[in-house]
Amino acid sequence: MSRTVKCVLLGEEAEGLDYAPYPGPLGLRIYAGVSKQAWKRWVAHQTMLINEYRLTPIEPDARRFLETEMEKFFFGEGSAAPKEYVPPT
């Protein structure tokens, strides 16, 4: 039987993640309150951020930026796309 959570992004009960997807306290908060569907949305948004800002995720500054954006995406005001970003049609 799958685990359900009250998803902070969707605002409803949904299937929870199988494990904490990120280390530390932020990963535990995500595990406790983010659904699989919401996590997939984050992964797509993160990919866009990496591409648009030409980030190298192994670099400490890029990791800090992505972690901050992840926290905003789930628990803050949301993570915005760059002003120049044009979504694919």
CATH code for the domain of 14: 1.10.3880.10
Tell whether 11 is covered by a domain: yes
Q: Domain of 27?
A: 4-75
Q: What is the pLDDT of residue 1?
A: 55
Domain count, the chain: 1
The phi, psi pair for 4, rounded to 5°, reads -115, 155
- The pLDDT of 51-76, averaged and rounded, is 95
| pLDDT digits 0-9 by tens, 10-56 | 999 999 999 999 999 999 999 999 999 999 999 999 999 999 999 99
Task: Please report, for residues 9, 16, 68, the alpha-carbon distance to residue 34 in angstroms, rounded to integers and kept in the order given.
Answer: 7, 6, 16
Tell whether 80 is covered by a domain: no
* pTM recorded for the entire structure: 0.89
Tell whether 81 is covered by a domain: no
List, in sequence order, every beta strand (DSSP E) within 1-89.
4-6, 13-15
Tell whether 86 is covered by a domain: no
Tell whether 12 is covered by a domain: yes
Tell whether 85 is covered by a domain: no
